[in-house]
Amino acid sequence: MIPFLALVRKDLKLFFNDRKAVVVGLLVPIVLASFFGYMFGGQSGKTETSKVPVLAIDQDGSDISRGLITQLGSDKNLDVKPSTLDVAREAVRKGKATVAIVIPKDFGKDAGHALFTGENKPELGVLYDPSHNVELGMVRGILSGAVMQTVSKEMFTGKSGREMVNESLAQFENNPRISPEDRKALRHLLNGVNELNEQREREGESGQGTITGGLTMPYETREQAITSGKDIEYNGYAHAFAGMGVQFILFMGLDVGIALLTLRQSGLWQRLRAAPLSRTMLLGSRTVSASLIAGFILLVLFGFARVVFGVHILGSLAGFVGVCAAFSLMTAAFGLMVAALGDTVEATRGYSIMATLIMVMLGGAWVPTFVFPAWLRKLTVVVPTRWAMDGLDAMIWRGLGFSSALAPIGVLLLFTLLFGVLAVMRFRWRTE
Amino acid sequence: MLEVKHLTKNYGKLIAVTGVSFRADRGETIGLLGPNGAGKTTTVSMIAGLLSPDSGEVLIEGKQVKSDTDPVKLKIGLVPQDMALYDKLSGRDNLTFFAALYSLAGAKAKQAIDDVLNLVGLSDRAGDKVETFSGGMKRRLNLAAALLHDPQILLLDEPTVGVDPQSRNAIFDNLEALKKRGKTLIYTTHYMEEAERLCDRIVIIDHGKMIANDTLQGLHKLLPVTNVIAIDLDHADGFNPEQMLPLPEVKSTELVQGSLRVGVHDLSRGAPGVLRWLAENGHSYHHVSSEQPDLETVFLTLTGRSLRDS
């Protein structure tokens, strides 16, 4: 037992003696996790996102086009500014604007006619930055609502709307493609609109209020975040700290492997092998020390997240500790496997950094796995970091019980076993 | 104490060591002499149990090292060629760690650490980090780490590589002290003067093969010339050294800048005849000395190559 404890103590001493490395090793994940946490929702889960810069080119100059631009500008997600076509095109190309909306000449008039007839729909030009597809989708949705509201408002309440209703009535009468029955019904509808407009005009003169908002979405949403409990808001830092913790602990495991690879080529390895120590003790002690260091890193990270960002373990504490312990062991075994399979230090460092980054990426440590395509989400169950992230998320902010930690713990321990067996089988004990 | 029998180790087609055999008794120092890559470190690694020989065996007090945890290993202390220390730890922390590998802890470990620090003269620097040590101090601490468990056999793989002459002398003093305590030293080197100073017997290895195993005197006897008599002649002009070749025991003659150099196989029998011949033939001289060939000459004679150039 004396040699085993000495080996573990020595590893811990070497780790903590290098104070600069310890500080940097903790500071970097804290900074990154703080950044990602803020980006993904912050402490209240409602971090204000930046507005999408939109340029509006009004070539129509009608009440409808002006109303449309005003309507778009009132949306909290858009930052709408007037522009000209050439300037807007250049701004989008340079990435200074995400979308430019071109309202062509006669848009208001054509849109008003098309509202009732469905024919000769005018085209709204949309110039967009192809690297902002997500924002484009959002702008398109807001634009649809704004056009409907603005055009219908003008049709039912505006002066030009009344003129257009009368023009539309005249067109129906002379349109041979409309059947007599349809003509009768449309005439009835448009006369009704005219009556409504006249009535609203009278009400406006007598000072009585009326509804003049045009057609709007016939529903509103009531959004409710399902978190670990009532009145507990999602904390974006919870996932970010879990993700960065997983990433940097994996890097620590990688360092353990590289250090072992380097050690194997040194006189120290000869001295260790010359002592009456078993191979199990040499690798086992390294596993324990690496796990303890990983546990320490997680403790500091989540301690910081709790004090500064109010991240709490809302689920089972035992489950959280279990997931952390299983992940730490898996990381240590991963490091040993790196040392066992590696050849030269330089080549091994390159390959293993790549493998680590892929594991981190697919595990959802950078961005949650729900943004992955369905096939990729299914595929990532073979990546241990996915289980670590799922387990940590479940225990930290989803607030689930210990039973939800069992599967991640079990799978992580299976990976530990797999990596450990591979490491023992492939480790080259011969001195160089 | 230590018996090495017909050790052979191959790496694929490369023959690292073949048929190396020697024995070392208590208090004896054996020098493994050979150029870099000759197979010295491989031989030491097999003795220390770090490598399994393809054939042959190593017996320590009649027993083989059979497993990683074999207690026989306690009888061996290894001083690797590379510095085997943790730079970020203090000298004492290093020694505490290496002592613990041999299950030494508490007062026992402290005593052992104090003893070895005292031996290598590093007691006053024990608390400093190794990274602040000079190369010579590191080498001495490297030696100390192998002595903590008081092994009977000390394997020293080129322990003076890269150290200044002063530190080298300090290490030699340490080794001589250990020898006096009855320790068996196996010392690999490619420095002939180290082998000449320290070793009772010298095993010469070249290309993995053992080409000699003898005392220094015994190795000299392998040479056609065991001594060179250097005679500074008063009048060397016109002197033909070859006329002395028929004399008994004389094996070689040459004239180098007025100094006559006569190689003899046996100094006590050859020298009187040489001096007598000079007197009888009217050649006066003002200085006579004798030189013994060094190990470099031995190696050159045995391999046809210079040790340093190999």
Picking from A99, A62, A102, A59, the residue whose alpha carbon sits closest to that of residue A79 is A99
Domain boundary among A158, A187, A205: A205
- Closest listed residue to residue A275, CA positions, set B70, B140, B64, B112: B70
- Is residue B299 included in any domain, yes or no? no
Beta-bridge partners for B255? B260
- Residue B158 within any structural domain of the chain: yes
Kindly report whether the global pTM for this prediction surpasses the value 0.80: no
Note the maximum CA span of chain A: 107
**Tokens 């040993």 -> residue:** A336
B111 Cβ contact list (under 8 Å, min separation 6):
none
Which residues of B fall within a CB distance of 8 Å from A4?
none
What is the structure's pLDDT at A42? 65
Question: Over A136-152, what HEC string results?
Answer: HHHHHHHHHHHHHHHHH
Residue A47, pLDDT score = 52
* CB atoms B100 and A2 under 8 Å: yes
H-only helix segments in chain B: 40-48, 91-101, 106-120, 135-147, 165-180, 192-198, 216-221, 267-280, 295-303
Any domain includes A214? no
Is B97 within 8 Å of A10 when comparing Cβ atoms?
yes
Which of B68, B96, B146 comes nearest A279 by C-beta?
B68
Please judge whether B89 and A270 are an interchain contact, meaning their C-beta atoms are less than 8 angstroms apart.
Answer: no
Asked whether residue B306 is domain-assigned, the answer is: no
Asked whether residue B141 falls in the same domain as residue B239, the answer is no
Within this chain, do residues B148 and B286 fall inside the same structural domain, yes or no? no
Query: What one-character DSSP code corresponds to residue A127?
Result: E
Q: Is the pLDDT of residue A162 over 70?
A: yes
- Is position A56 within any domain? yes
Q: Are residues B234 and B272 in the same domain?
A: yes
Residue A262 and residue A401 in one domain = yes
pLDDT of amino acid A404: 93
With cut-offs at 50, 70 and 90, classify the pLDDT of residue B103.
very high
Task: Report the DSSP beta bridge partners of residue B291.
Answer: B228
CB atoms within 10 A of CB A8: 19
Residue B308 lies in a domain: no
Evaluate if residue A148 carries a pLDDT over 80: yes
Q: Do A276 and B98 touch (CB under 8 A)?
A: no
Instruction: List the structure tokens of A192.
Output: 């009704």
For residue A338, how many other CB atoms are within 10 A of its CB? 25
Instruction: Pick B81's closest partner by Cβ from A13, A267, A273.
Output: A267
Q: Is residue A217 part of a domain?
A: no
Cβ-based neighbours of A16, under 8 Å, separated by 6 or more: A22
Number of domains in chain B: 2
Quick check: is A233 in a domain?
no
What pLDDT is stored for residue A212 in this prediction? Answer: 56
Confidence of residue B308 (pLDDT cuts 50, 70, 90): low
User: How far apart are the CA of B166 and the nearest CA of chain A, in angstroms?
Assistant: 24
Q: What is the pLDDT of residues B188-225, one digit of tens each?
A: 988 888 888 889 999 999 889 998 899 988 888 777 77
Same domain, A324 and A405: yes
Q: Is the pLDDT of residue A215 over 70?
A: no
Domain housing B119: 2-220
A344 and A268, same structural domain? Answer: yes
Chain A interface, mutation test: which of B10, B40, B79, B82, most A Cβ atoms within 10 Å? Answer: B82
Instruction: Tell me: do A260 and A335 sit in the same domain.
Output: yes
Report which listed range, A83-92, A105-114, B193-202, is most confident. A83-92
Which chain B positions have a beta carbon within 8 Å of A17's beta carbon? Answer: 88-89
pLDDT in tens, B133-181: 998 899 999 999 999 999 999 999 988 888 888 888 888 998 999 999 9
Sheet containing strand B250-256, edge to edge, reads B250-256, B259-264, B227-233, B285-291
Task: Tell me the CATH number at A184.
Answer: 3.40.1710
Is B300 inside a domain boundary? no
Q: Do A126 and A102 contact (CB within 8 A), yes or no?
A: yes
Does A6 reach chain B within 8 Å, measured CB to CB? yes
| Residue of chain B whose alpha carbon sits nearest to that of A12 | B89
Closest by CA to A335, choosing from A293, A393, A274, A365, is A293
B205 exposure class (CB count in 10 Å sphere: 0-12, 13-18, 19+)? buried
Q: Is residue A231 part of a domain?
A: no
Angstrom distance (rounded) from CA A180 to CA B216: 130
In the numeric block, the tokens 């391999």 are attached to: B303
> By CA distance, what is B148's nearest residue in A?
A275
Could B89 and A14 be called an inter-chain contact, meaning their C-beta atoms sit closer than 8 Å? yes
**B27, B142: one domain:** yes
Structural domain includes residue B303: no
**Segment A252-267 mean pLDDT:** 86
Interface A:B, Cβ pairs < 8 A: 85
A295 and A193 share a domain?
no
Question: What count of residues does chain A have?
Answer: 432
**Residues B253-303: pLDDT tens digits?**
888 888 899 988 888 888 999 999 999 999 999 999 998 877 777 887 787
Q: What is the per-residue pLDDT for B201?
A: 93
First-to-final CA distance of chain B: 32
Question: Which pLDDT score is estimated for B301?
Answer: 78
Q: Read off the pLDDT of each residue in A325-334 and give the average, rounded to a whole number.
A: 92
Q: Where are the beta strands (DSSP E) in A104-193?
A: 125-128
| Same-domain status, A276 and A421 | yes
Closest CA to B137 of B206, B103, B71, B90: B90
Q: Which of A278-282, A352-356, A398-402, B159-163 shows the lowest per-residue confidence on average (mean pLDDT)?
A: B159-163
- What pLDDT, on the 0 to 100 scale, is given for residue A43? 62
Q: How confident is the model at residue B96 (pLDDT cuts 50, 70, 90)?
A: very high
Find the length of chain B.
310
Dump pLDDT digits (tens) for A55-74.
Answer: 999 999 988 899 899 999 99
CATH of the domain at B179: 3.40.50.300
Residue A34 resides in a domain: yes
Residues of B in contact with A268 (CB under 8 A): 80, 82, 84-86
Query: Stretch A182-187: mean pLDDT, rounded?
Result: 82
Residues B53 and B122 in one domain: yes
Same domain as A72, residue A36: no
* Chain B residues lying within 8 Å of A273, measured CB to CB: 48-50, 68
More confident residue, A182 or B150: B150
Same domain (yes/no): B130, B52:
yes
Among B9, B69, B110, B129, which would you mutate to test the A interface (most chain A Cβ atoms within 10 Å of its Cβ)? B69
User: Is the same domain home to A131 and A257?
Assistant: no
C-beta atoms of B84 and A267 within 8 A? yes
Which neighbouring-strand residues pair with B14? B11
Encoded tokens for A314: 């809302």
Whether residue A428 lies within 8 A of chain B, CB to CB, comes out as no
Q: Where are the alpha helices (DSSP H) in B199-249?
A: 216-221
Same domain? A37 vs A59: no
Tell me which chain B residues have a C-beta less than 8 angstroms from the C-beta of A279: 68
* Ramachandran class of B231: left when φ > 0, alpha when ψ lies in -120 to 50, beta otherwise: beta
Q: Token pair 């072992």 is at which residue?
A: A260
Maximum average pLDDT range among A360-369, B34-43, B99-108: B99-108
Residue of B nearest to A277 (CA): B69
Same domain, B26 and B143: yes
For B249, other C-beta atoms within 10 Å of its C-beta total: 20
**A277 closest CB neighbour out of B48, B81, B101:** B101
* Mean pLDDT across chain A: 85
Of all residues in chain A, the one with the smallest CA distance to B76 is A274
One domain, residues A34 and A158 = no
Rounded to a whole number of angstroms, the distance from the CA of B88 to the nearest CA of chain A is 7
Q: Are residue B131 and residue B199 in the same domain, yes or no?
A: yes
DSSP string of B8-70, one letter each residue: EEEETTEEEEEEEEEEE-TT-EEEEE--TTSSHHHHHHHHHTSS--SEEEEEETTB---STT-
Number of domains in chain A: 2
| B119 and B260 fall within a common domain | no
Beta bridge partners of B3: B23, B59
My answer on whether B105 and B157 are in the same domain is yes
B210/chain A closest Cα distance in angstroms: 22
Task: Give the residue from B160, B192, B220 where a domain finishes.
Answer: B220
Please report residues of A whose CB lies closer than 8 A to that of B98. 271, 275
B interface with A, Cβ–Cβ below 8 Å: 45, 48-51, 68-71, 73-74, 76, 78, 80-86, 88-89, 93, 96-98, 100-105, 142, 145-146
Residues A260-305: pLDDT tens digits?
Answer: 888 887 889 999 999 999 988 998 999 899 999 999 999 999 999 9
Residue A182 covered by a domain: yes
Q: Are B199 and B272 within one domain? A: no
How confident is the model at residue A209, as a pLDDT?
47
Which residue in chain B has the smallest CA separation from A264?
B84
**Cα(A17)–Cα(B130) distance, rounded to whole angstroms?**
13
- Does residue A305 fall inside a structural domain? yes
Domain boundary among B161, B190, B220: B220
Residues A155 and A265 in one domain: no
Whether B304 is in a domain gets the answer no
B88, B236: one domain: no
Out of A157, A179, A205, a domain closes at: A205
Q: Say if residue A152 is in the same domain as residue A59.
A: yes
B266 falls within a domain: yes
Range of the domain at A166: 52-205
